Amino acid sequence: MEFILEDISEDEVARRRDVYTPLTDTVRDLVDAVIRTEVGEDALADARQRIAAIVADLRSEQMDGPYGVRHTRENTGMAWGNAVIGVRNALAPSLDVEHVDDGVRSEFTLGAAYEGPPGQVHGGVCAMLLDHLLGNAASYEGACYTGTITLRYLRPTPLGTLTARAWVTEETGRKRIARGTISDAEGVTCEAEGVFIVPRSAVGGPAVRWSAG
């Protein structure tokens, strides 16, 4: 498995982030609009043609495979294709993960694209986000891998603004146990506990500031 070194300054990372963030946000907006639009079929066909033309332009120069996982010499992680936090990935709710005293915390808003039961977040989306957050909490010395994770759904999670938290409860050798929750304004809706494994290659390596999931 290969991590790619992007030999650029921290300022250049920030500048590129500012270029891609509004583009990705606009694609997120498009995903939502395609779910919720009520325009007629001619307008839908027209939209499809215009989107296809943009795709062709963007693909005129593109990398061969997926984005991969990159980091700078200063160990800033650039998991910009990542399914949960990718700056260039419109599927990702693009969690902004904050490091707090006892672990990590993120506040985010989930709209129509994350729906399962009517008006509620898909249980699988809760699982995806918690897997990432717990992995992130466990990854303070380099990216960890999920060994096992158990999710417990206490009640439905409504679409809207939510908070997720994760923290490490135990550490033995390369094994870490992490716990976490998703909450709405009324309290916890879903909780998780998982076992995360630090790859042998990562022990004593640089503390890159991300989790690759």
11 binds a copy of itself (CB under 8 A): no
Closer CB to a copy of itself, residue 63 or residue 101? 63
Closer CB to a copy of itself, residue 3 or residue 140? 3
Taking CB under 8 A as the criterion, which residues in 86-105 touch a copy of itself?
86, 88-91
Residue from 8, 27, 177, 188 that binds a copy of itself (CB under 8 A)?
27
Question: Which residues have CB under 8 Å from 87's CB, separation 6+?
Answer: 17, 20, 21, 24, 78, 80, 94
Give the type of residue at 65: G
- State phi, psi for 187 to the nearest 5 degrees: 130, -165
x-or-dash string of contact with a copy of itself, 128-157, rule CB under 8 A: xxxxx--x-------x-xxxxxxxxx--x-
Q: Are 164 and 191 in contact (CB under 8 A)?
A: no
Place of tokens 């920030």: 14
203 binds a copy of itself (CB under 8 A): no
62 binds a copy of itself (CB under 8 A): yes
47 binds a copy of itself (CB under 8 A): yes
Q: Which residues pair with 175 in a beta bridge?
A: 172, 197
